[in-house]
Chain A
Amino acid sequence: MSRAPALAACVAVVGALGVGEARAYDFEVRARTFGQGYQLPTLHLLGGELWLARRRFTESLSFTVWDLGDLRRDRRRAQPGRPDDGPVIWLSAHLRLDHDYGDWTMGAIDVDGRAIDAIDQVPELAASSLGLELLYGELAIDGLWHRVDLRLGRQLHLDDVDPWSMDGISARIRTPWPVTIEALAGLRVRDGSPLGASAVELDGTTGADCREYVEGPSPGAGTWQIIDRSRVPGDDRLGSDLAYCPQRTALMPMAGVAVEATGAGARARLAYRRTQSRTPGLIGDVDRLDHPDRGLYPDELGQAPAWGVNEELISVGVDGRWRPGGARGVTVAPWARARYSLIDAAVADAGAGVRLERGPHAVEPEVGYARPLLDADSIWSVFVTGASTDLRLGYQLAPRRGRLRARATAWARRYALPDPGAETAPAATSPWVGGGRVRAELAVTPRLRAELDLLGDDGYGGRRLGATATGRWQARRDLALTGRLGGLHVVTDQRASTGGASGVGQLGARWAIDGGLALDAATELSASPRAAAQLRVVVQLEIALEDDR
């Protein structure tokens, strides 16, 4: 995100918090301080690889303040036993400061004998150079009129297959019938949003090398040119001097609605979501360039629409859970879901399966379908793309009393190429891929657990065989130790140099210093054909506070 809006947002937040009389509220605060040190390689085919340091400092702060206005507390006093008979207001937020001060991000790249800040050459690195991100920060009003839950502010959703975030308002309305209605509206969070995070933005576009259409001598004879060509990279290593793309900073209004019905052990949900953005107009002064400047897109004859839809989805899902045979019978939990992209006029992904449980055993057969779903502003949205179909079979052993728990999964996938023209070329690899994985955990003693993880897969992409053994020992009430040994053999079907056998050893400890204070330290030593030894160290200090009223 750009730092000016971030600073403004911080000032606004601090200002807002500073207003008014201080009151004592129930609260929960969790702060985590991370320090990481490791190296990543830059590939040099001749003369060996150059390893660059990542030195990462991260501070995250999440807090929740309950019962703002003491509404619930007052009700408890007035009507003991009925504290929830009315609205409750609370505030929750998660803020993160992240800085990578190692050479990986803050160093330079040699381009044609000229050293350029890495972050200028690769603007995408800005996501980790210096980030101040508000991942969520919402004011919640629950139980309004006994039926409505409201959320205001930045709301993070981790649904289906991707995380997304919105600055706005959402409401969940519980009707007198077993039907719930949800509605939301606001601005979708982008990398360029105040305190925004790139990870929640629609995928498919990057702010690097962003180009605008510069008209030529006659209509249609223009060329695309880097917008930032008039800029000169500066010495600011905390931000990219060449990441400027008006389309990626355009406000992105979004709205959605969902209806959910439950009953008889089943649920059905139908949802719709649409995100759009305005087409940027002129960039800067009209006479900024030698040629007529028509804006980001060619628009000589008014072709460029004022708005474009970035994402529009309809999703439907049904699931249920029944135990027809009583407490000792089989539990049947079928599910099916699908997302249809109105942008692509095609199903984006779908799946169906069932979980069958009996005692400690569960079997999960399922089938899935997926094709890439990208921001409609990305040209890849119009590329011919294939879909993949998955068949999966899972087994889970989860006894309530047993010491052994396990999960085994076997899967197979087939890729379908929609363009017969691509099939005419001799295939380098099979369209099939499949694999299996078995994980087991044994409670050797109440304080010692042993885990084993075996995996193998083959087909498109390559072949992998691996095993990992883990031991977890609660040495003392306040001290837990973890050790792990693993090996993986990879044969890729593309570049042999990225294959081979690698091994890893890890040692970690968690020391619960006090009730709300814990220190985690972990180190990893790995060896692979590319590096005889790599060391990685992660240290985390966790502080959790809550009022003791």
Chain B
Amino acid sequence: MLNILLKKIIKTGAGRFRYILAMVGLTVALLLILAAVQLQSNYWQLLHGNNAQDSIANFLVINKVVTNQNAGNTNLSEQDIQDLKQQPFIQGVGVVTPSRFKVAASGGSAMPFYTDMFFESVPDQFLDITGADWKWDDHSQFIPIVIPNQFLDMYNFGFAKSQNLPQLSHELVRSIPIRIDIQTPAGQKSFYAKVAGFSDRISSILVPQAFMEWANEHFATEPPKGASRVIIRTDDPSNPKLIQYLDSHQLATDLEKTRFSKYRQIVGFVVQISGFTGLAMFLFALLIFSLFIELTIASCREEIGLLVTLGASPRQLRKFLMKTFYPANMVIALIVLVILSILQWLLSGLLSHESMVVSPFISLYTIAGAVIVLVILWWVHVRTIRRQISGTR
């Protein structure tokens, strides 16, 4: 009953149209701000979600770009490597050690092939093959090796098809011993190797670091060559700073793995524009709200004065004014969250066709953003009303 009477006494009619405009403004502002938050959160989800490709993307093999000027001299100097190690977006740098002896491999009757080849090795922490499979000492029967997946694909879908040879599965390849002949200064030496794993990460044939050091020591026919390739670990291969760094130092890496960088810059740009526009509109909406409240209270100053005279407490009046002005904001926030939920659901469906997985629901950050905006609005309302009411006696 009191509220009905107060509503009759404190008329909110003045400037209604402006108030509605401010409400529309707030809706758009909130939509922009929260959409920016949601977009950013979607992007992080894509980047750090449990997609298989990500574990690969976190390791990059880097080498100098081969140009006509530097052909034959593409080694990375010690200084280059130290510089890489000091970049904040690089968590680890490992030198790729090349073999300094000649190697030939042959497959025997199960996999009839013979090829000259080479070995490389990287420190163990840059590989996800661990345990007994990846151990070597001079008593080991087999040398474990890692071959690129692309090799097997090339064999299965190119070579085997055209030559009428059987296609090989991962399991089969792992079980076949491969004969390795190494040309040493003292003549040819034979070993057997087994494939311990397949890598998408490094387009090279890898052996354990321990074997490489041992073999280089005993069989080397050439002096040490220095590092021509390094492997780095990074928590974010799409970081534009990383790409920028590589470009400016004439370094190259697998572009496929850094393609997110371009997307990320676009997403970042959109998020920033949307966020800043939303923020600016939000500030204007806040201004208009507080002006509207001031206008309403000023136009009813006499009535409010009489209410206080009769015994209405400032607390009662503040409560009434909050009830009059604030709920609209909560409705707006709710509407915006519903709109974003629908958009997110549609986006999730759309992206799943592109085999990109984002949650069909809006993120907790977005909801937290809405709550923060509501708290700010609440604070501005309380402050404006308190100031205006305390000026009335």
Partners in one complex: no
